[in-house]
A = this chain, B = another copy of it.
């Protein structure tokens, strides 16, 4: 039997290769397609990167299920208790326009609960990237360094950063009605445009609080476990943006190895707030923390 730790190491290796593939294209010319809606781009790089990741996974774990952002309706892979959820480029609009805030997210679920994953992001260092990784009950790492969200590299207090999705109600007049929005009085607001990138930054202590999503299972598959295993708190929000429960798995009913359940995972969307335990308490979420 393969341990979560070993799955995590596999996720790192795949992220490394996928990152190299993507960086061959970043800031260069490539084909851009528009997906179904406005501002929902997909590029040849998303497609190529997803192929690369899927091939690596199915060579090593031929029985596992795979859900990728760029699947469309075409793919119906095996149905297994193990499901890989991959976003070959999270933040494609940033990538396609040339903004270096995007990510590659690779997560592994067992019965709809994340057990391992990695997030690759570009970074202005010698490697040109950071690789975040996580294994359930084992912890979270940046490259080879284990991380603890409660012992951040810096503790800035009032100079903290909070981040939001460009789809979130902070941009509309509805914001005042929405309770988690009282956090917007704390810290400097950012809209980065890649939810997996935000979760990586939250795990690193760069961002102190985030309103994540609404987004899909391939966006969240690695990052939520990454935050939790680093000691952070992740609360799922209901439709009124009220915290409903601490996150553990994507489907709260018993996981069934059938097509209907697989379709549920594929179509799953959700939103979360996340941060270190202190900031979550300050924000009146004590009962969940």
- Interface residues of chain A, those whose CB is within 8 Å of chain B, are 23, 26-27, 29, 32, 34, 38-41, 93-94, 96-101, 122-126, 128-129, 153-154, 156, 158-161, 164, 166, 170-171, 173, 175-176, 184, 187-193, 201, 204-207
Determine the chain B residues whose CB is within 8 A of the CB of A156 once the complex forms.
Answer: 32, 41, 96-97
In the complex, the answer to whether B166 meets A99 with C-beta atoms within 8 Å is no
Q: How far is the CB of A194 from chain B (nearest CB, A)?
A: 10
Shortest CB-to-CB span from A190 to chain B, Å, is 5
Measured CA separation A206–B129 after assembly (Å): 20
Q: Are B158 and A34 in contact (CB under 8 A)?
A: yes
Q: What B residues does A98 contact at CB under 8 A?
A: 153-154, 201, 204-206
Q: A161 contacts which of B34, B40, B93, B201 (Cβ < 8 Å)?
A: B93
A–B complex contacts, Cβ < 8 Å, 30 sampled: A27-B153, A29-B153, A38-B159, A39-B158, A39-B159, A41-B156, A93-B159, A94-B161, A96-B159, A97-B154, A97-B160, A97-B161, A98-B153, A98-B201, A99-B201, A99-B206, A100-B123, A122-B124, A123-B124, A124-B128, A125-B128, A126-B128, A166-B188, A170-B171, A171-B171, A171-B184, A173-B175, A173-B176, A189-B191, A190-B192
When distances are taken between beta carbons in the complex, the residues of chain B under 8 Å from A26 are 124
Residue ID in chain B nearest A165 by CB atoms: B189
Contact A159 B34 (CB under 8 A): yes
| C-alpha gap A73/B194 in the complex (Å) | 40
Residue with the greatest number of chain B CB neighbours at <10 A, chosen from A97, A124, A156, A176: A97
- Chain copies in the assembled complex: 2
**Cβ–Cβ < 8 Å partners of A101 in chain B:** 101
B124 near A154 (CB under 8 angstroms)? no
Given the known inter-chain contacts A39-B159, A166-B188, A190-B192, please indicate yes or no for A32 contacting B154, CB distance below 8 A.
yes
CB distance from A266 to the nearest CB of B (A): 24
Q: How far is the CA of A205 from the CA of B93 in the complex (A)?
A: 13
| A126 CA to B154 CA, complexed, in Å | 27
Neighbouring B residues of A170 by C-beta, 8 Å: 171
In the A-B complex, the 3 residue pairs with the closest CB atoms? A122-B124, A191-B191, A41-B159
Known: A123-B100, A170-B171, A206-B97. A38 touches B158 (CB 8 A): yes
Q: Which of A32, A99, A128, A170 has the most CB of B within 10 A?
A: A99
In the complex, the answer to whether A39 meets B93 with C-beta atoms within 8 Å is no
Given contact pairs A97-B206, A100-B123, A189-B191, a sample of 5 additional A-B residue pairs in the complex whose CB atoms are under 8 Å apart: A38-B158, A97-B161, A99-B201, A101-B101, A124-B128
A41 to B123, CA, bound (A): 23
